Amino acid sequence: MARSIVVGVDGSPESLAAVEWAADEAVARQQPLRLLHAWGYGPAPNASWQAAESQRAWGNHFLDEALTRVRTRQPELEPEADLVPGAAAEVLESSDEETALLVLGSRGAGIVSGFLVGSVALGVVAAARCPVVLVRAAQPVPEGPNEGDVVLGVDLDHRTDALFEFSFEAARVRGSALTVVHAYPVPSPYGVAPGESHAATTSDMFAESYQRLLDALSPWQGKNPDIHVRPIAEAGHATPVLLDAARGASLCVIGRRERTRGPGPRLGAVDYGVMHHAACPVAVVPHA
């Protein structure tokens, strides 16, 4: 049985935007769609049963509203709708073994272009074993240098197979180009060897970084000759470089390294920066 695209439903405008995005993705990928609402009420011994029933009723209302959105947007879909007791983060994380893609809504940050990513979404993104997509409520997407592309940010010092596989497939189902961005450190003038110019060192670093990016892309382009790829190597901090490239994108893809040490799952600074400030949906893909 094909793994599902699962979308978390909580009745918010961001959640409904995520439902619509997930419905489109399910049709494009030809995968089942599952709507999931977690209600976290755990009644104490003296709590009234009416409180639990009220939460259940609200959960069913949210799911009915989401089902209506799906049927209006993609009438051919027949999604599964589940009301599951438990804390939202735990329910969503536990669902990812049968999940191809987990989709969540995130609040727009008002006059700041980007997301306000809540604690539930952050916890799920940090721990999920499947890719997680964050979708904000529908707003005009600003024009950008790679309009409509899937934009992928890669760190070539770590394995990138899972990121390339996800991103090429995302570009394929959209019929779009794939822009692949690698940011490398700005060379310091104090690190220039005697007899060399800073400009020459800068040029050499660009050439080396760009060639590394081409080498990493080469086998994937060979497998996907029908997808137009735009490689970008740019000096600077990864977050602003990637955010600039992702203006106007249809999807921005970043990686989350699965850590084997430390007190628990964590997100890196680039993950936080892109999730909070990208104007388009953001996919976070776990990788080794």
- The DSSP secondary structure of 100-116, one letter per residue, reads EEEEEEEEE-TTSSSEE
Query: Please, what sign has the CA dihedral across residues 148, 75, 32, 120?
Result: positive
175 DSSP assignment: T
Q: Each residue of 132-186: pLDDT tens digit?
A: 999 988 666 668 888 899 999 999 988 789 999 999 999 999 999 999 999 998 7
pLDDT at 65 over 70: yes
Give me the amino acid identity at 255.
G
Say whether 16 sits in a helix, a strand or coil: helix
Residue of 108 and 154 predicted with greater confidence? 154
Q: Each residue of 66-100: pLDDT tens digit?
A: 999 999 999 999 999 999 887 777 777 666 667 89
Is 53 exposed, middle or buried (CB count within 10 Å of its CB: 0-12, 13-18, 19+)? exposed
Among 284, 288, 283, which Cα is nearest to 25's?
Answer: 283
Residue with tokens 């899972």: 162
Q: Given this model, what pLDDT does residue 110 score?
A: 39
Give the whole-angstrom CA distance, residue 236 versus residue 49: 57
